[in-house]
Structure 1
């Protein structure tokens, strides 16, 4: 697999049911400006549909798997978004395992269990019969990467966007 594709996968995925440790050796961040209008719309779409996703994740229907949340983590002036797999509700919000190796922030590590609030959630996703559902921010990122890398992710991870 090309290094550029592997780097892209490290940030985006955690789509396949692998452990956070399995991804920790991967490097690469696809940067998107904090004021990017497409990304802001994707985050808003994810947040608007979050309640329905959370209900579904509590009793997953047949054919669904890999329910995940994407969470914003800040460290000083650096901000990075990570997939959390698996996740669960807590008395004060949510907790789960950080599924990606940090590149910009240094206050967390891949495989670490973190706690977070609803306000820090930027996306959600799961697979249904081999196709991605949700993952709105990933669909934006697919537009910003090379056609080859985007096609690889679509072909191998079930994106229809």
Structure 2
């Protein structure tokens, strides 16, 4: 590994701060895709991971040590992001590769998924690539094993240009209502069941922005007033994540 080339960028540069903000603002689209990936029999994603800012206070130092590292096996409850660290820290001693992670959404600094060789998200990666020469970008992409494409043209959902409506409704959600209704009729108890995080199906589908699944659940009597362990209803979560197409449905 001695000849491995590393690429760095200042974490507090305006470009990087803008990338952090964009990643947090659009994370809901990453999670929407993951919500469907976890249901697929045949995976559609080549990779999916989230970058998190970890820190550690050091005696005698005014500023904490901060490292941005990637996690996978990602989960999300609308507030907190879960996963497993897949990097070994350079300086931090309070976390190690393989540790389980639970952080607020405000602590993530990037997200990335790839399908059929095309990447989505990766805002900090593109911010770094923008500062590289063509040759450095090629070396960087080869090291990842991915062609990241144009750093000025970052997409966040599949087929975004061909089908801009995918920004509002995921293609798989368009055809899910009848299947969801059939499932709930056969398993009526699922309408009220909560998962290990205390979320109902209505919470789960709202967090993922799935309009037709939400409509099916409401038709089957899902309780709009049911609250998460920290007191949030599905409507609260829709507003928090700015799933604006769900808010009128949940306000009826």
- Please state which band the TM-score falls in when normalised by the shorter chain: 0.7 to 0.9
Q: Corresponding residue for 2:15?
A: 38
Q: 1:114 aligns with which of 73, 80, 101?
A: 101
Instruction: Give the Å deviation of 1:146.
Output: 6.3
Q: Corresponding residue for 2:32?
A: 55
C-alpha spacing 1:108/1:145, structure 2 compared with 1 (3 Å): farther
Q: Corresponding residue for 2:3?
A: 3
C-alpha spacing 1:44/1:92, structure 2 compared with 1 (3 Å): closer
Distance, in Å, in 2 between the alignment partners of 1:123 and 1:143 is: 16
Structure (1/2) with the larger strand percentage? 1
Q: Is the 8 A contact 1:153 1:159 kept in 2?
A: no
Count residues in correspondence: 138
Structure ID, larger Rg: 2
C-alpha spacing 1:4/1:144, structure 2 compared with 1 (3 Å): farther
The gaps in structure 2 that reach 5 residues or longer are: 58-63, 152-252
Q: Is the 8 A contact 1:102 1:110 kept in 2?
A: yes
Superposed counterparts of 1:1-161, under 5 Å: 3-5=3-5, 8=6, 30-60=7-37, 63-76=44-57, 77-89=64-76, 93-144=80-131, 148-155=135-142, 156-160=145-149, 161=151
The structure showing larger relative contact order (alpha-carbon pairs under 8 Å, at least 6 residues apart) is 1
Per-residue CA distance 1:31-66 (angstroms, 9 max, x = gap): 433420110111111111111221111103763232
Instruction: Give the Å deviation of 1:143.
Output: 3.6
C-alpha spacing 1:91/1:147, structure 2 compared with 1 (3 Å): closer
Cα RMSD after superposing both structures: 2.4
2:114 is paired with a residue whose SS is strand
Q: Is the 8 A contact 2:75 2:81 kept in 1?
A: yes
Instruction: Give the Å deviation of 1:110.
Output: 0.9
The gaps in structure 1 that reach 5 residues or longer are: 9-29
C-alpha spacing 1:92/1:133, structure 2 compared with 1 (3 Å): closer
